[in-house]
Every structure is written in structure tokens, then in C-alpha cells.
A and B are shown apart, each in its own frame.
Chain A
Amino acid sequence: MTKAYSRFLTAMFCLFLGGVLVWHIVLPDRDRSDVENRTLEQWPEFSWEALKDGSFTAGVEAYFADQFPLRDQWTVVKARAEQLIGKTEFNDIYLCDDPLYGSGTLISKVPEPDLDLVDKNLSYVDRLQDKTSATVHLGLIPSAAEVWKDLLPAGAPSWDQQAFLEQAADLGLPMVDFHTALTEHAEEYIFYRTDHHWTTRGAYYGYTALMEALGRGDEVRDISSYGVETVTDDFNGTLYSTSGIHWLEPDYMQFWVGEDGLSITSWRSGKAEPAELYDRSYLEAKDKYSSFLGGNQPLCVIENAAGEGKVLLVRDSYSDALAPFLAQDFAEVHLMDLRYYRGGVAAYAEEHGIENIVVLQSIPNFITDRNLVFLAQ
């Protein structure tokens, strides 16, 4: 190595390290990341106590990583590098061929859950039925890893949701057959490519299964009767964020049901306030799926003077896309989220004269949720 060449290498190395450091310092700190949908770490406050227990230095390291320049872009570089060496799995998300569009679709792997928790969660549903005079329906929605399992890379592991549905059926409670309703239409655009939720079309097939289970299958409206409004064609969902795969065609999102005749009350802030079926402000943000009913909330009631009957959905976010369909037929659709609502399911049903309770959850959520214990209270 000549002196000049050594100088060149040394300078290159130091400029890279120093350049990134200076960039990091000069770059203004961000409060939150839309792609990650969370607040980012800020510079920790110094105290001798925090230094002694290690939380100060840990905080600095978290700050340094969270505020790193071009944070989102680095994950794309990593995903591309992994793709180059033949990987099809990116942070527990499979990149699969997409027969509909050809650009590929992302499917979240369902890891082996804690089987004790699974048994417990099923037993809480059973105990809810013991406590209430309303009929409890078990509506477990299989995720894309089950419905689209033919698209997964050959041999790719994912927990067997079909076997779980058979286990759940042994409880003897009425089941909503989402599995059949979705697999019959597996060739259609029923899950987003870049998000783990079902599309409005998927939710429509879910609605038909739910109406069937509630004994009102004959009232189901025909798919051609809806006025389809495409509200965005630029939706990049959670799977886009987690996988680092940012090169797929963005999803489009549709609203099929209008708001006419509906009156919506939300307990988002703890007290009743009027709300809307679609919060269109989310369409301008990253988290577009939250435009359905405005996203997570403890309790939401949709009333329709022209409808008939009352139903309580013990919800997760999948319910938000399905509820607009139900609201056309029911006088009252109640959506309760056990992660925030602690008033008791049976007591609520009795107070409001509800005949049917549907535990409506996606399977990946149901098998990992630690709040279902509140079903039995």
C-alpha cells in the first residue's frame, strides 16, 4: 500500500463515519414516524439515578437509532439485500407472488402462539355465554396466511389456523363461517397486498357469512347493489412498514356503503360524541385503514332507524370495515373493544337489550390477545 492510497482509504472511512455523525446531529429530531406508526425516542433526560441503573445510556442508544438519518430508506436497502440472497421472509412477513397484479403481495406469518393462552381465550368466550342470556357467536376471521396459503413460498411455516377453527368449534357455540366465505372468493382482492386487514370486498364476504350465522342470510344485499367509491389508490399498510418492502404497487381502498340514515356515537374520549362512518382525514395520512369508523376506540354505536335488531360486536380492527355493511340491516350495531372498555360485556348486552353478541376477531389477534379475560367479567 502506498502512502497516498492509505490516505485515500483512511479519508474515505473517516468521512463516512464523521459525515453520518454530523448529518445525525444537524438533522432535526422527529417526534414520530408515520411508517412505524409510533412516537420516536428523544434525547433522554440526565440524572445520576438514570445513569446508575443504565436507563440513561440505553435511552441514548434508542435515541441514536430512532433519529438515524434516512431511517426508513435503510430498511429498504436491507430488504433488497435479503431478496438478492434468496430470502422470501422479511421480519416475519412473506413476499409472495400475486396472481391478481403480478407485483407481489405480502402475507404476515402467524407464529406458533402460546397454546395455554389460546385455550384460555376460548374458555373466556364459553364463560361469556354462561353469563348472558344473549346468544354468543364465535366469529374468528382467518388471516391471509390461511386463506391465501397457496400463495406462500413452498413449505413456508405458518401456524395452522384451520386446525384452530376446528378446536374452537368443539366449544359448541354457534360459529360464523368466515373460512368458507373467504376461501370461496380467494381469487379476488379480499386482503390488502401491503396490509394485514381484509379489503372492503373481503369484509363484504365476511358480512354475508355473519348474516348467515345470525339467521338473516336472506336479507344479504347483492354485491352489485353498492355504490363503489375508490377513496385512495395510494395505501401502504402495516406489512409495507414492517417488511421494508416498499416496491410493491400500493393498495387501493374503497367505501361501498353510504352514511345516509345512520347516526353514529363514539366513546373515543370516554364520553358520547357524534362521529362518522368514515373519518376521511386518515386518507391523507399513512394509517389509511383507520378511516373506517376512525380507528380503535372503546365503544361505538351505529344506529339506523330503518334497520331491525341489535348486535354487539366484540371487535378488533377487522370489524371496522365490516360494520358499515351490518349497519344497513340492523337498528343498532355496537362495537366494543376489550382493550379499552372495562364495563363488562354481559352487563352491557343486558342493559341495551341485545340479542346477539359476536366475538369478532382475526385469528392472529384472538390467539395473542391478553384482554379477552374481560369477556367473562
Chain B
Amino acid sequence: MVFSSLTFLFAYMTITLALYFVSPLKWRNFVLLMVSLFFYGWGEPVYITIMFVSIMIDYTHGLLVEKYRANDKLARYFVGQSVVFNLLLLGFFKYWDFFADNLLLLGITLPENLTLFGNTIALRNIPLPIGISFFTFQTMSYTIDVYRKDAPAQRNIVNFGAFVTMFPQLIAGPIVKYKTVARELDHRVNTTEEFAAGVQRFCVGFAKKVLLANSIGALWDAQLAAGQAGSLTVVGGWMGLLAYGFQIYFDFSGYSDMAIGLGHMLGFTFEENFNYPYCASSVTDFWRRWHMSMTSWFREYLYIPLGGNRGGTAKALRNILIVWFCTGFWHGASWNFILWGLYFAAWLILEKYVMKNVLAKTPAVLKHLYTLIVVFVGWGLFAMENLGVCGRYLAACFGNAPLWSAVDGYTIRSYAITFLALIVASTALGKWVWEKLPERVQQIAVPVLVVISLLIGTAYLVDGSYNPFLYFRF
């Protein structure tokens, strides 16, 4: 069940909020746990067992780490064990096929089945449990935070279960680090002000996802198909990359906004996940603004433990490569994602060691342009898993195709207003104008905008489910 579905919006969310707020305060974590398990089980009835196992193991390890804190070696051992468990979970469900396919190319065959206690389990083509990349990272942060004394261990398994399964961020982030919500798990206050703030944030995200991301997504699909049919032009290729970049940004940041909004409604404060990434003035700056909960996770739990940039240039280079290899690979079990990660590692290293002085002297406009080109070409790598398809597409963008066709003119006319809206929404312009408005105007505008986003968004969702049966086909 995705947030941008009629069932989520009008049935699940409505009933969940009602149940949550009729419950007494001390029951609310329990209610949250139950509705979140229901949410998870809705899409993955079988995988709900993974949730239970994951909760049990990480809960126990948190307590063990705290109990043996005096014996640092033992405490570290338990942290390690919990990290290994989570990585094995992720490795098996997300990466087994990738490893097996690639080892096969080297002539090594991994077993196709596993027999345990007389039951045979197929190991290949297992469907990916939704959100596994997110919740394994969150639970890893838990034991590490407890070890580092950034947060106390959670003694109440219901509270801990509510943290692991919390439905707003369960399937697409932001990656909530335990320490950032530890206090709110135990003591939080629900105020009308916070709920109303959550409503506004949710509606912003809902409009981003349904009105902006979905509508520009169709343009990317068309250009990708043109690329495969060999009718792509240079202009069409760049429009496609632009469309994909906007789609992924508004899809993902819309989802984060909805999660943050839902968090506020329930009384939680999640960290921000995006900060106008397409306004970045360098690639380094872009990664301070894009998917911030993930980059800060990798920084805190991988880059710094590896030694960060201390210990000389060679070590720093090694650490950057490791972190960006992992970042790429985390996004998907496919070579193009690894390539995408390393592509950014290369630009980050260049910016840090080679281009630093040049960039400092470059006019701001050019810096922004350079950043956007690097990032959007990167999206090409990200979007096309098949490296052959990807290569041909990017070659077309860089001149191996006719410059332009009549269809491009049609596309530009059809999407001109959409692009304009996307560009404005990617910058702080809207916020700047908003803050200049008199309070009186804001007060009238908010409810109007909330209603418009809900109404138009619902219209797009219903239309998406509309499926007329044409009588000339059967």
C-alpha cells in the first residue's frame, strides 16, 4: 500500500488516525505497532515474520550491549553480531540473486535451494521485502547508538517494535536514526498545532508525488521508449533526463514530506531529508542536500568509523570510494547503481583535490550549471539498469542522434507549464514568496491549498485506476 493510493488515504490513514487518537496516551505505541504491522502485512503477509525476528533480535542486542557495557570487548561483540545479522538479512533478500548471477559468470555456482529440517526453500528470485533497505539501516543505528551512549537501550519491546515498524517511514524513509526519536518514543505530546502542521506538510508531499512526479514520469517513459526504438533526438534525450531527475526528486521528496507530515500528526519529529538539492552549487553541495538521512547515516556509521579524512590522502580516498561504492550498491543490486555511486565518488574526489581552486573562482551560474549536468547525467546511469541501453541513451544525448524532431516541439508545448512548475518548486522561490505574504493572506491560502491538493490529487488517483474496456478489443 503506497501513500499515494486511494486505499491508504481514505481507508488506512483515516482509520489509523482515529484509532490512535481515541486510545489513551500509554497505549499509543501499542496501537502504532499494531497498525504498522497491519500496514506491512498488507503488502507482504508472509514477510511479517521478518519483522518479528528483526524486532526480537535487535531488541535483545540493545539490552545486551547495555548490560555488558563495562566489558567493552563483549559489548562490541554484540554490536557486531547485530550488524552482521542485519547485513545478512539485507544481503540475502536483496543481493543473493546479484551475487549468484555474477559468481556464475566466474564459474562458481551457488546452491539454488536450501533444505532445512526436511523443507526445501528456493533461494533464487525471492521477492524483495518492502522497506528492507530502510528498516535494516534503522535497526543497525539502534545498537550502535546504544553502544555509543547516544541513546539509552529501549527496555519496552512495544516501544521498540513501534520504532522499527513505524509505518510513515517504513517503506521509503527517511532513515530515522534511533537517537533522533528515542525521547519521543517514551514521552511525546500530541498537540493540535503539531497535527495541523503535519496536515500541511502531508498535503505538500501528496501534491508533489501525485501532481508533479507522476505527470512528468510519463515524459521519461516516452523518451526511454524512443531511445529503445532508435528515434531519440539530442533534445529529446536531455528532456528525458530532466524529466527523470524531476520525477525522482518529487517522488522521493514528496514521499519524505508525507512521512514527516504523518510523523507530526502522530507526535514524532523526523529529520529533514531534502534541502533544495537542485540549487546546489557543487556536487559536494548536492550530496549535503539530497537524501540527507541516508548520507548522514553513511557518514556517521561508515565513513567516520573508517577514519574519515584523518590519516592522510590515501586513506581518505579509500574511505570515499568505500562509502560511495556502498551508497550506490544500497540503491539496488545491479552494476549500474555501483557505477552510479563510483561516478559520484570520482566527482567528489575531483572537487576535493583538483577543482577546489577552480571552482572557487567560477561564477555562480556556471557552478550551478555544472552541478546540474553532472547530477542529471548521473540520473541516466541510475535509471537504466541495462548498461547497453544506458550507453546508447547517453550517447544520443551527447550528439549521436539527430538534434531535434517535430515530436520534440509537441512535447515541449505539452509540458512547458509542467516544467515551469517543477523548476519553481525545486527552488526556494515559492517559500520566499510565501514568507513575504501578509499573515492574513497565508491564513486564507493554507486551507484553500490543502483542499485543492487533496481534491486534484484524488482526481488523478481515481483517473489512474480508470480502465475503460474498449468494445472493439474483445
Given contacts A13-B450, A17-B13, A21-B10, contact A155 B407 (CB under 8 A): yes
CA distance A37 to B307 in the complex (A): 65
CA distance A347 to B46 in the complex (A): 54
Is A1 a contact of B43 with CB atoms below 8 Å?
no
The contact of B7 among A60, A287, A295, A316, by CB within 8 Å, is: A60
Q: Cβ of B432: which chain A residues have Cβ within 8 Å of it?
A: none
The contact of A238 among B406, B446, B451, B468, by CB within 8 Å, is: B468
CA distance A16 to B17 in the complex (A): 13
Is B410 a contact of A74 with CB atoms below 8 Å?
no
- Category for how many chain A residues contact B: 35 or more
CA distance A6 to B190 in the complex (A): 13
B 445-474 contacts with A by CB, 8 A: 446-447, 450-451, 454-456, 458-463, 465-474
Does A244 touch B at the CB level, under 8 Å? yes
Is B462 a contact of A89 with CB atoms below 8 Å?
no
Does B42 touch A at the CB level, under 8 Å? yes
Is B193 a contact of A89 with CB atoms below 8 Å?
no
Q: Cβ of A65: which chain B residues have Cβ within 8 Å of it?
A: 6-7, 461-462, 465
Is B459 a contact of A365 with CB atoms below 8 Å?
no
Q: Cβ of B414: which chain A residues have Cβ within 8 Å of it?
A: 86-89, 153
Given contacts A3-B193, A13-B450, A153-B410, contact A74 B458 (CB under 8 A): yes
Residue of B nearest to A20 (CB): B10
CA distance A79 to B459 in the complex (A): 9
- Mark interface residues in A5-35 (1 if CB within 8 Å of B CB, else 0): 1111110111011101100100000000001
Given contacts A12-B451, A16-B451, A36-B466, contact A57 B471 (CB under 8 A): no
Does A196 touch B at the CB level, under 8 Å? yes
Of A6, A7, A13, most B-chain CB atoms within 10 Å: A13
CA distance A287 to B460 in the complex (A): 25
Residue of B nearest to A88 (CB): B414
Q: Cβ of B450: which chain A residues have Cβ within 8 Å of it?
A: 9, 12-13
Does B316 touch A at the CB level, under 8 Å? no
Q: Cβ of B13: which chain A residues have Cβ within 8 Å of it?
A: 17
Is B462 a contact of A9 with CB atoms below 8 Å?
no
CA distance A89 to B454 in the complex (A): 23
Is A6 a contact of B196 with CB atoms below 8 Å?
yes
Q: Cβ of B467: which chain A residues have Cβ within 8 Å of it?
A: 36, 38
Is B14 a contact of A21 with CB atoms below 8 Å?
yes
The contact of B410 among A3, A9, A18, A156, by CB within 8 Å, is: A156
Residue of B nearest to A108 (CB): B470
A interface majority secondary structure: helix
Is A54 a contact of B469 with CB atoms below 8 Å?
no
Q: Cβ of A365: which chain B residues have Cβ within 8 Å of it?
A: 472-473
Does B417 touch A at the CB level, under 8 Å? yes
Q: Cβ of A196: which chain B residues have Cβ within 8 Å of it?
A: 470, 472
Is A37 a contact of B468 with CB atoms below 8 Å?
yes
Chain B: interface residue total (CB-CB under 8 A) = 65
Q: Cβ of B15: which chain A residues have Cβ within 8 Å of it?
A: 21
A 183-230 contacts with B by CB, 8 A: 196-197
Smallest Cβ distance from A76 to chain B, in angstroms? 8
Q: Cβ of A91: which chain B residues have Cβ within 8 Å of it?
A: 463, 466
The contact of B45 among A7, A10, A54, by CB within 8 Å, is: A54
Is B7 a contact of A242 with CB atoms below 8 Å?
no
Is A339 a contact of B474 with CB atoms below 8 Å?
yes
Is A362 a contact of B472 with CB atoms below 8 Å?
yes
Does A121 touch B at the CB level, under 8 Å? no
Is B407 a contact of A157 with CB atoms below 8 Å?
yes
Is B9 a contact of A75 with CB atoms below 8 Å?
no
Is A6 a contact of B192 with CB atoms below 8 Å?
yes
Residue of B nearest to A290 (CB): B471
CA distance A317 to B470 in the complex (A): 11
Q: Cβ of A3: which chain B residues have Cβ within 8 Å of it?
A: 192-193
Does B416 touch A at the CB level, under 8 Å? yes
The contact of A317 among B11, B225, B447, B471, by CB within 8 Å, is: B471
Is B10 a contact of A10 with CB atoms below 8 Å?
no
- Mark interface residues in B9-47 (1 if CB within 8 Å of A CB, else 0): 111011101100000000000000000000000110110
**CB-CB nearest 4 A-B residue pairs:** A155-B410, A65-B465, A74-B462, A6-B196
Given contacts A7-B196, A77-B455, 9 further A-B contacts (CB under 8 A): A6-B193, A13-B199, A13-B450, A24-B11, A61-B1, A79-B463, A154-B410, A155-B413, A242-B466
Q: Give the B-binding residues of A (Cβ under 8 A).
A: 1, 3, 5-10, 12-14, 16-18, 20-21, 24, 35-38, 51-52, 54, 57, 60-62, 64-66, 68, 71, 74-75, 77-79, 81, 85-89, 91, 112, 153-157, 196-197, 238, 241-242, 244, 287, 289-290, 295-296, 316-318, 339, 362, 365, 368
24 A–B contacts, CB within 8 A, in A order: A6-B192, A6-B197, A9-B200, A10-B199, A12-B450, A13-B450, A13-B454, A21-B10, A36-B469, A57-B1, A64-B10, A65-B461, A65-B462, A75-B462, A78-B459, A85-B421, A91-B463, A155-B407, A156-B410, A241-B468, A242-B470, A290-B471, A317-B471, A317-B472
